[in-house]
């Protein structure tokens, strides 16, 4: 094996967004994660509901705008046909 080509293997901390800290070893001294076994719904048995209502409302608003624009375009096309 060649000397001095491998990264340093040091003690590391894995820090979760919930505040949980896990001690391990890695090539990086600190690893930040968004979810761990302490706060993950699969392990805790609790569901965390994402704000899907906001997404649905935004979609409904976009759909209404699109349908209104299509109706205006169809009306304009109908008036052009009548003029000919």
Q: Where in the chain does DSSP place strands (E)?
A: 10-16, 21-26, 30-33
Where exactly are the structural domains of the chain? 1-48, 50-84
Identify the CATH class of 1-48.
Answer: few secondary structures
Q: In this predicted structure, which of 6-15, 39-48, 52-61 has the lowest mean pLDDT?
A: 39-48
79 band by pLDDT with thresholds 50, 70 and 90 = confident
Q: Indicate the average pLDDT of the chain.
A: 84
Percent of the residues in the chain that have a pLDDT greater than 90, as a whole number: 31
Q: What integer pLDDT is reported at residue 9 of this predicted model?
A: 92
Q: What integer pLDDT is reported at residue 50 of this predicted model?
A: 60
Number of H helices, E strands in the chain: 2, 3
């Amino acid at each position: 094996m060649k000397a001095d080509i491998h990264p340093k293997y040091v003690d590391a901390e894995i820090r979760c967004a919930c505040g949980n800290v896990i001690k391990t070893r890695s090539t990086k001294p600190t690893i930040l994660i968004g979810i761990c076994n302490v706060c993950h719904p699969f392990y805790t048995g609790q569901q965390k509901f994402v704000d899907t209502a906001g997404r649905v409302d935004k979609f409904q608003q976009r759909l209404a705008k699109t349908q209104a624009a299509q109706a205006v375009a169809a009306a304009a096309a109908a008036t052009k046909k009548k003029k000919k």
